[in-house]
Chains A and B, each alone.
Chain A
Amino acid sequence: MEINPTRRTVLRGAGRAGVLYTLIATGVFKTTAAIAAAWNKTAFDSKDTIGALKGIGANAAADSNDIILKAPTIAENGAVVPVDVVSNIPNTTSISILVEKNPFPLSAHFEFANGALPDVSVRLKFAQTSLVKAVVKADGKFYTVQKEVKVTVGGCGG
């Protein structure tokens, strides 16, 4: 049931959560309540991309063409923007998605184990035209790719 030892990096600074995590990972607990303790408040509450990246342990990330980031060039509606990320980097263990111009850029963070492919699709709110950034962790190193999404008129009546 071990998910992935590098996960602890994510939980650095959250000691109790780390313990809980270990218990979940070893199968002692398997409740959603236990998972909740592992929400990375520092990273999600960060108001800028750099802070959010630090929060997930990514002080530096190299640009990579091996990450496929699919998002519309022009979004039909900023309230629901489909974003797909696929990592072709071997040993990818996590994918984080950030919307740079949102009040809180870190939008979602996923960890993969037991056969899950590093391939996720989500739908995100965009407060305005912004870069969307995917950050991948593989073999303990971070890689990134980004794309601009333009947000179009409408959605607010008027």
Chain B
Amino acid sequence: MTDPMKIRAQMKGDVAEVRVLMSHPMETGQRKDAAGNAVPVHFIQNISIEVGGKVVVEGQTGTSVSRNPVFGFKVKGAKVGDKVAVNWIDNKGDKRTDEASIT
């Protein structure tokens, strides 16, 4: 099961600022749990940001990205009311898409 993202998209002048919080453990594969067992590697590998139906950013990420990742992007040419969709997919194939509107 995946948890929802928190997306904030606001116009600042003619640029839309998009901030995304993702709920993900971003396990490096090197951590041990309380019982001493290695926690399997589990991390987001790909993200994409769509604004108004167009992909504006595609990202690839590794295990160095912090747990519960935070990303910020800026997009020109967007306007208030445009839909922002954010997708991620991790190394186990789990994926998630959430949407917000630009305010």
Interface residues of A (CB under 8 A from B): 1, 3, 7, 24, 30, 32-33, 35-36, 38-40, 44, 79-81, 84, 99, 102-117, 119-125
Contacts and interface: CB of A to CB of B under 8 A. Distances in A.
A3 B58 contact: yes
Contacts of B61: 107-109
A116 B48 contact: no
Interface of B: 15, 28, 30, 45-46, 48-49, 51, 54-67, 69-78, 87-89, 93, 95-97
A108 B64 CA distance: 8
B62 A108 contact: yes
A114 B55 CA distance: 7
A108 B54 contact: no
Contacts of A1: 54-55
B90 to A, nearest CB: 9
Residues of A contacting B: mostly: mixed
B28 to A, nearest CB: 8
Contacts of B97: 32
A124 B66 contact: yes
A33 B89 contact: yes
A102 B70 CA distance: 19
A109 B60 contact: yes
Contacts of A38: 46, 58, 60
Contacts of A107: 61-62, 64-65
B64 A104 contact: yes
A36 B45 contact: yes
